[in-house]
Amino acid sequence: MITAGRVEEALNAWPCRVESVTLLAGGWNSATWLVVTTEGRYVAKLVDNLDAPALLSGLRVAEYLAVRGLACGAPARTLDGELVIVRPEGTLALLQHEPGSPPDLSVPDEVRRAGRVLARTHQVLRDFPASGDSRYAWPWEWVTRCLDTIPMPEHVNAAARRVWPEIVSTVDRHDLSISVIHADPGPDGFLLGADGGAQDALIDWATTLRGPLLYDLACFAVITKPAGPRVARWFTEGYAAHMPEIGPQLSHLDWLVKARWLANAIYFSSRIERGITHGSDSPTANKDGLAAAYAGMTA
């Protein structure tokens, strides 16, 4: 793990005067630090160099959203105008720190506020100029590629191969809305401010894709599953209140929930292959996540 001192040294690439660097807890896919500068507060985010292309794509989306007035943890550009710097320890970005707290999953109005944040974000992203990057093509070509190349138990792989064509067919047959999406909006990604909603934020744009809007709703449902189904229902109510045109599509949400479980199967299989264990204190977290993904795909 890179030390706070090394992070502070690396931050010389940005036009800010650093006062302190403090490691933040958590992080399944990255390490993060709170950076206090004379110009304001930021978050330094370090990912494996292998994950740098996904981070860069997401930072461009966050920058696009910030210009249009959405609070999203936008990236700060380096002195050379770059979004990241590459270090031996990984790829480092400096992001705007957004105030606020994640929604309390026992409070319906807070969860609905988070749903409204996602809906506002989706509305803005309709006009995002998606590039030729393969992550912005639907159906996702990386699904088959990962199933062909990442080692995983045969029964898990077989289940994923069965369910993926059905998901794609459902999206196509019912003409489900497709656009650029966050692709991992869990409760910790939403920061609710004290202003009642105007500056509520959606952060952590390191997994952006182009795909069905319902996939983001499905992600929230899967991530909050331990808290009970009412949480996903409240979230969807908030989303639909701001974007009612999603209503007729919600009957197909379960298929996108399976898509999220499929993505989890690939994710945890990749972590096992790469020997990645950070993000949880449990030594069996990756195997448990893979088992849950199989159960979700076959439910």
Give Cβ neighbours of residue 81 (< 8 Å, ≥ 6 apart). none
Considering only CA atoms, which of 12, 36, 201 is closest in space to residue 92? 12
Sequence letter at residue 227: A
pLDDT exceeds cutoff 90 at 2: no
pLDDT exceeds cutoff 80 at 198: no
Question: 31-37 and 40-47: which strand pairing?
Answer: antiparallel
Is residue 213 within 8 Å of residue 179, measured between CB atoms?
yes
Give Cβ neighbours of residue 20 (< 8 Å, ≥ 6 apart). 34, 35, 36
Q: Domain 4-96: give its CATH code.
A: 3.30.200.20
Is residue 70 within 8 Å of residue 121, measured between CB atoms?
yes
Helices (H), the chain: 4-10, 52-67, 108-125, 141-149, 154-173, 213-223, 229-242, 253-274, 285-298
Can you name the residues that pair with 209 across neighbouring β-strands? 181
Sequence letter at residue 121: T
Rounded Cα gap, residues 202 and 156, in angstroms: 32
Grade residue 1 by pLDDT with cuts at 50, 70 and 90: low
Grade residue 131 by pLDDT with cuts at 50, 70 and 90: confident
Rounded Cα gap, residues 114 and 102, in angstroms: 9
pLDDT at position 199 is 86
Rounded average pLDDT over 111-131 = 95
For the segment 222-279, what is each residue's pLDDT rounded down to a tens digit? 999 999 999 999 999 999 999 999 999 999 999 999 999 999 999 999 999 999 888 8
Would you give the DSSP letter of residue 276? -
Gap between the terminal Cα atoms of the chain:
38
pLDDT at position 103 is 98
Report the chain's mean pLDDT, rounded to a whole number: 95
Rounded Cα gap, residues 92 and 42, in angstroms: 13
Tokens of 277: 């264990």
Grade residue 133 by pLDDT with cuts at 50, 70 and 90: confident
Scan for tokens 């449902």, then name that residue: 221
Tokens of 158: 């077989």
Tokens of 260: 């999220």
Among the residue ranges 115-129, 140-154, 238-252, 277-291, the one predicted with the least confidence is 277-291
pLDDT at position 182 is 98
Is residue 138 within 8 Å of residue 211, measured between CB atoms?
yes
pLDDT at position 28 is 85
Q: Domain 108-298: give its CATH code.
A: 3.90.1200.10
Please tell me the pTM assigned to this model. 0.96
pLDDT at position 201 is 97
Could you tell me the residue ranges of all domains in the chain? 4-96, 108-298
